[in-house]
Chains A and B, each alone.
Chain A
Amino acid sequence: MRFVDEFREPELITRTASEIRRLADAKRHYRFMEVCGGHTHSIYRFGLKDLLPSNIELVHGPGCPVCVLPMGRIDDGLSIAEQPGVIFAAFGDMMRVPGTRGTPLEYKARGMDVRIVYSPSDALKLARNNPERHVMFFAIGFETTAPSTALTLMRAKAERLRNFSVFCNHVTIIPAIRAILDSPDMRIDAFIGPGHVSTVIGCRPYGWIASNEGKPIVVSGFEPLDILQSIVMLLRQLNENQKKVENQYKRAVPWEGNRAALKAMAEVFELRPYFEWRGLGFISQSALRIRAAYAEFDAEHRFSVPGVRVTDPKAAQCGEVLKGVLKPAQCKLFGKECTPEHPIGALMVSSEGSCAAYYNYEHRKTQALTYLSQTPVSIGETSV
């Protein structure tokens, strides 16, 4: 087994899609929110919306840690990059995200040492190999990524490294879901729950969504079959008027989560009293900062940062798109002032933000599909 191709098997996908059509009540309009940007990406990449009946609507949630990072925080991180001798290390996802004076790649073009890393441990390696420089790792991500940053900091401490720090922008998923559910114009019927965050936090933390809010939630994997099966499970719950947490992604997600990962996070991080989420505003107890015991590795402690709050232009309707009230194309700036090439708002800065994903994968598709349904295309039928 390869655990990937098997979950992209066309025959099974067709079967599951048929089951969805069988289960979906024609008299209802279903709105399912997939919380996680990775699910948004999968949905577009595999063209899964094409397989769903028209009365199932997928609403893209706020689970994109790049998208929800306020511009001011990017400015803060980049201000550290400008310090002499600093190597700014970050994931590729961050490289084209604009601060007020440019993106990390643009800073690199102006002569700052900006490096792409695949892992926080690669940033640590940079520090070991460059003792005369200071390596600052710009950490982003939900609970999926935070434990890896935590372990890396524990290793840095054990090695007594003096030239390594982390600018911590880790955020937590539950408060984001709560913000969606607390929103008065929210109309979500059920949730496709984040799969990889759940490998760390498990499925328990979602209990209140089912019991208090009365919304079914299915923790889902990322392959086409996973997402489609999760939709089947949500439809079954709704049809039977059930409201519970279910784990579709059993092969990877333990119900109790990963205790070692949670321990590492608790050792290194604590919750900030509040943190600003781009598009959602200030949310309490929703983000992590480095504990005092690890202060020497806290970039905010070692460097002074401007800490200036930068607000998005009022015309950008990111908040409403994030909560599922508006579709990306309904925002006045979409496709005009705001495109992936020059993003104005949160949801265009990352390729899995709702607006960027829609722009890259879906925009212009409707015409194509109408044409294709009338004029069947024969590809690959040339036999040699």
Chain B
Amino acid sequence: MCLAIPGKVVELLPEDRSLAVVDVLGVRRKVDLGLLQEDPPLAGDWVLIHVGFAMSKIGEADALAQLRMLTELGESDAAREEVQGYGLGEEEADEEAEAAESNAGP
């Protein structure tokens, strides 16, 4: 389920803070930002669009990290260890801790 597409916020609408114009390969639509009001996107941000609503912001750093990791597949084991698995940065350590916590739960 759930066809959701990345789009770039090109214009925030001053008359309605909850709407923004989002661009997907040159196709534009007003997208509802109501689900992102806790951390509203700015013009230039990328969001994931589903049924005309923005579901989350797309993190370029995460995307680049993922691609970099995939580029390094097939290289030496040492290099892979350096890359430390599936992501880079403190976020990864937090998530591992979260996962361990949820595994340990009832």
Contact between A and B in the complex (any CB pair below 8 Å): yes
Chain B residues positioned under 8 Å from A121 (CB to CB): 32, 52-53
Q: How far is the CA of A36 from the CA of B52 in the complex (A)?
A: 20
A293, CB-defined interface residue at 8 Å: no
Residue A204 is within 8 A (CB to CB) of chain B in the complex: yes
Indicate if B74 sits at the interface (CB-CB under 8 A). yes
Instruction: A245 to B86: give the CA distance in the assembly, Å.
Output: 13
CB-based A-B contact count at 8 angstroms: 169
A310 to chain B, nearest CB (A): 22
Q: Which of A98-106, A193-201, A300-308, A326-334 contacts B (4 or more CB under 8 A)?
A: A193-201
User: Chain B contacts of A2 at CB under 8 A?
Assistant: 6, 25
Is A3 a contact partner of B2 (Cβ separation < 8 A)? no
Q: Is A335 an interface residue (CB 8 A)?
A: no
Interface flags, B84-106, vs A, CB<8A=1, else 0: 00110001001100111011110
- For chain A, residues 7 to 65, give those with C-beta under 8 angstroms from any C-beta of chain B: 7, 9, 12, 15-16, 18-19, 36-38, 63-65
Q: Are A207 and B1 in contact (CB under 8 A)?
A: no
CB of A244 within 8 A of chain B?
A: yes
Q: How far is the CA of A232 from the CA of B70 in the complex (A)?
A: 10
CB distance A199 to B55 under 8 Å? yes
B52-92 CB mask vs A (1 if < 8 Å, else 0) is 11011011101111110011011000000000001100010
For B37, list chain A residues within 8 Å (CB): 260
A6 B63 Cβ-Cβ under 8 A: yes
Q: A207-B102, A244-B103 in contact; A148/B6 too (CB < 8 A)?
A: no
Residues of B within 8 A of A (CB): 1-6, 25, 32, 34-38, 46, 48, 50-53, 55-56, 58-60, 62-67, 70-71, 73-74, 86-87, 91, 94-95, 98-100, 102-105
- 19 CB contacts below 8 A, A to B, read A7-B67, A38-B1, A118-B52, A119-B32, A121-B32, A121-B53, A141-B1, A144-B1, A144-B4, A148-B32, A148-B52, A151-B53, A203-B98, A204-B102, A211-B104, A211-B105, A245-B99, A253-B56, A261-B35
